[in-house]
Amino acid sequence: MQKRTLGKDLEVSALGLGCMGMTSAYGPASDKGQMIQLIRTAHDRGVTLFDTAEAYGPFANEDLVGEALEPIRDQVVIATKFGFDIDPQTGKRGPGTNSRPEHIKAATEGCLKRLRTDHIDLFYQHRVDPDVPIEEVAGAIKDLIAEGKVKHFGMSEAGIETIRKAHAVQPVAAVQSEYSLFWRGPEDGLLQTLEELGIGFVPFSPLGAGFLTGQIDENTKFDPSDFRNNVPRFSPQARKANMVLVHAVQAAAERKAATPAQIALAWLLAKKPWIVPIPGTTKVERLEENLGALNVELTDSDIKQIEEAVSKLSLEGERLPEAALKMTGR
């Protein structure tokens, strides 16, 4: 397995595994035993970065990841996230963010318990809290690092100036945000800032929440609990209009004797050596397919051809519902 470094010294597999969809977001939770086996199979194939969050469930995803990785804890990097108001007793999530230092420290204890570990390798602020100065958040993480409970600080969907302020207090190892051929927003300043500061980048939804695989069209029916039902970019009308993007990726896949998913991941891997995508799946065959992207070498000419084709397209629909968009880029 190829390795990459996030920040100064956090070494991880070139592809990680996003675990959110195993318990929520894309429909009902999958069978726990099967998901534990899938996570361990990923590790057997060389994956060392596993991504979860207290908000996934809430709590159920951390419980799953903790149980799956407990026997191999010293061989993996666990990334989780704090920053929402979640009742530790009931697991009910409140409407807003909460990154008050005392809340972060209390949340850390819950994360450690569910993950069955004494330290969190990479602890992300899930969303920036507009009511708490980022310097205080970074200071709280700095304290947790000094205590040995956290190893590295991360931020998710944060804006450039916020990242700079946080990094000045406690170096940020990685920023996690959406990035794919379906959403190229990070190219507008974020990637340049991360390179300047020496911060790694972990794209979530690297397959465009499944759209770039070519397995979804305007006739696809999502489970009622699937978050994509509420995403403008996944309305039937938008899916129909955006199939032009899938066709462009499929054309590249045919040229390289790869699958569309492999092209989408290989494109991200080729952009920067400090980018580590975290595709999620609940199926072993998709895990194997995604890892196959590591064997797809895109030349500068390949990348130029893909990007020229994609840049000519006008895609329809926002990437998130309005309320969720307001929590990004702050």
Domain ranges of the chain: 3-325
Neighbouring-strand partners of residue 17: 50
The pTM score is 0.98
The H or E element containing residue 291 is helix 284-291
- 305 Cβ contact list (under 8 Å, min separation 6): 252
Distance (Å, whole) CA 199 – CA 191 = 9
Fold of 3-325: TIM Barrel (3.20.20)
DSSP readout, 89-118?
A: TT--EEEEE---HHHHHHHHHHHHHHHTSS
Among 26, 56, 124, 179, which one carries the catalytic annotation?
A: 56
Closest by alpha carbon to 220, among 26, 12, 4? 26
Active-site annotation holds for 56? yes
Phi, psi of 263 (to 5 degrees): -65, -45
pLDDT per position in the chain (330 positions), as tens?
999 999 999 999 999 999 999 999 999 999 999 999 999 999 999 999 999 999 999 999 999 999 999 999 999 999 999 999 999 889 999 889 999 999 999 999 999 999 999 999 999 999 999 999 999 999 999 999 999 999 999 999 999 999 999 999 999 999 999 999 999 999 999 999 999 999 999 999 999 999 999 999 999 999 999 999 999 999 999 999 999 999 999 999 999 999 999 999 999 999 999 999 999 999 999 999 999 999 999 999 999 999 999 999 999 999 999 999 999 999
Q: Is 194 exposed, middle or buried (0-12, 13-18, 19+ CB in 10 A)?
A: buried
